[in-house]
Amino acid sequence: MHRITIIGAGFAALTAARKARATDPQAEITLVAPKAEFQYLPGIIWIPSGIRRPEDLLIPLDKFFNKHAIRFHTGSATGLKDGGRTLITDTGEIPNDGLIIGSGGRFLKKAPGIEHTITPCEGIAAAVKIRDRLQAMQGGNIAIGFAGNPKEPSAMRGGPMFEFLFGIDRQLRNEGRRDRFNLTFFSPAPQPGNRLGPKAVDGLLKEMAKRNITTHLGHKIKGFSETAVTTEGGEFPAELILFMPGMTGNQWFDNTELPRSAGGLIQADAQCRVPGLERVYVAGDSGSFPGPDWMPKQAHMADLQAEAAATNLVLELNGREPVETFKVELVCIVDSQNSGMLVARTPKRSLVMPQMRAFHWLKRAFEWWYLRQYR
């Protein structure tokens, strides 16, 4: 009986657990995370407006674990030893025959005054804070933006910030108070969202102009305060700041011999293997993978990498060569509460479809379909 340990309870980790069970029905699979729950982060864009409640997106995993005969270990990873054969956690050590790391990434919070901002993708609690702050504001200035990791171009997550931007604009219009607010979108990148493709960037900027959203682009961020965003291109007022910084690896990686990329993520090959360590794999935001510079850090990509990682680990445990690779593709609907813009990109082609009401409902339908496997 093979012992497989998986770290995390997000998209990558849960997909890896499900795939490992499907490919090795007899394996002893242990999943390690602080809580036995899954936060469906793509849906948090709808919390400020009330389309979604926090409890709609927080899924207890007991049923999933029972269905797939997965052992859950409550704890946080703190290190590795024995070449990856033992995972060290704050609640004990776990031996394994194979390890998959899907513990996500960590946001770079080095900018002065960043404590005055809200980082939406830190979880449901952050989206609730945005909701409450919006409800309390009678008017004023709202700034929404993102930045990257200069040493790891792919370690960024900008898509949700466009959705918060357009969603908040729509929410304020629905509430009849948009005229009391100034919305500013900011980014150090002169062409924000360029990983979505040139057509998508043009579409997003035109949509901002159409909605009377000010842009402040191409200037390095110097810092934040309670009432302003300061960049090398000047300062502008903001009483509510939503900011998604670039990403790096988990802090516990520093206590290991895991090979790291320049941006602090775990190095991986095309099969999601961690070089230099036997039967250790990585999937999702924790890893730095070979591929085009636009390869996204998003749930869909994490799922694809996790399936490859789990398949290859089981192959290796059975004495076979790990040959499975993952597709590189970006698929997202940039939602704005009552419509959405579909963006898709592969190494061979790029597709951008304009704002349509059907895409909003398609995104909601996909959420329902995806969460069925965990409810």
CB neighbour class for 58 (10 Å; exposed up to 12, middle 13-18, buried from 19) = middle
> How large a percentage of the chain has pLDDT more than 70?
100
For position 196, what pLDDT does the model report?
A: 83
Residue 157: band (very low, low, confident or very high) from pLDDT cuts 50, 70, 90: confident
pTM of the model: 0.95
Residue 349 maps to a domain: no
Sequence-separated (6 or more) residues with CB below 8 Å from residue 237: 140, 141, 182, 227, 228
Give the mean model confidence (pLDDT) for residues 178-190.
96
Torsion angles phi and psi, residue 148, rounded to 5: -120, 180
270-297 b/e with 16+ CB inside 10 Å = b? ebbbbeebebbbbbbbbbbbeeeebbbb
pLDDT at residue 373, as a whole number: 95
Is residue 115 domain-shared with residue 232, that is, in the same domain? yes
Tell me, yes or no, whether 82 and 61 share the same domain.
yes
CATH number of the domain residue 88 falls in: 3.50.50.60
| Residue 193 pLDDT | 81
Residues 167 and 96 in one domain: no
Specify if 343 maps to a domain: no
Quick one: average pLDDT of 287-315? 95
Answer yes or no: do 143 and 265 share one domain: no
pLDDT value of residue 198: 81
Query: What separation in angstroms does the CA of 7 have from each of 110, 236, 329?
Result: 26, 41, 24
At residue 244, does pLDDT exceed 90? yes
Question: Looking at 218, 246, 274, which one is the last position of a domain?
Answer: 246
Q: Domain check: are 101 and 130 in the same one?
A: no
Would you say residue 3 has pLDDT above 90?
Answer: yes
Domain that holds residue 74: 3-105+249-317
Which among 287, 317, 347 is the end of a domain? 317
Q: Is residue 328 a part of any domain in this protein?
A: no
Judge if 153 and 225 occupy the same domain.
yes
Quote the CA–CA distance of 43 and 66 in Å, as a whole number. Answer: 25
Is pLDDT at 156 greater than 90 in this prediction?
A: no
Phi/psi class of residue 64: alpha, beta or left (left: φ > 0; alpha: ψ in -120 to 50)?
A: alpha
> One-letter amino acid identity for 311?
T
Residue 342 belongs to some domain of the structure: no
What mean pLDDT do residues 114-120 have? 97
329 occurs within a structural domain: no
Average pLDDT over residues 157-166: 94
Q: Residue 146 and residue 244: Cα distance in Å, rounded?
A: 4
Residues in the chain: 375
Over residues 328-353, the mean pLDDT reads 93
The whole-number pLDDT of residue 195 equals 80
Write the secondary structure of 246-279 as one string of H (helix), E (strand) and C (coil): CEECCHHHHHCCCCECCCCCEECCCCCECCCCCC
* 8: its two tokens: 């995390």
CB atoms within 10 A of CB 128: 15
> Rounded mean pLDDT of 303-329?
97
Do residues 87 and 20 share a domain?
Answer: yes
Residues 61-75 have a mean pLDDT of 98
> Is the same domain home to 140 and 242?
yes
Do the domain assignments include residue 360? no
What is the structure's pLDDT at 140?
97
Give the pLDDT score at 153. 80
Q: Are residues 281 and 296 in the same domain?
A: yes
Q: Per the structure, how many domains does the chain have?
A: 2
Q: What is the pLDDT of residues 188-219, one digit of tens each?
A: 999 888 788 888 889 999 999 999 999 999 99
**112 & 148 share domain:** yes
Radius of gyration of the chain from Cα atoms?
Answer: 21
Residue 135 and residue 197 in one domain? yes
Q: What is the pLDDT of residues 30-49, one digit of tens each?
A: 999 999 999 999 999 999 99
CB hemisphere CA count around 50 (13 angstroms): 7
Mean of the pLDDT values across residues 266-270? Answer: 98
Q: Which of 194, 219, 246 is the last residue of a domain?
A: 246
Specify if 220 maps to a domain. Answer: yes
232 and 269 assigned to the same domain: no
More reliable by pLDDT, 310 or 348: 310
Question: Is 375 part of any domain?
Answer: no
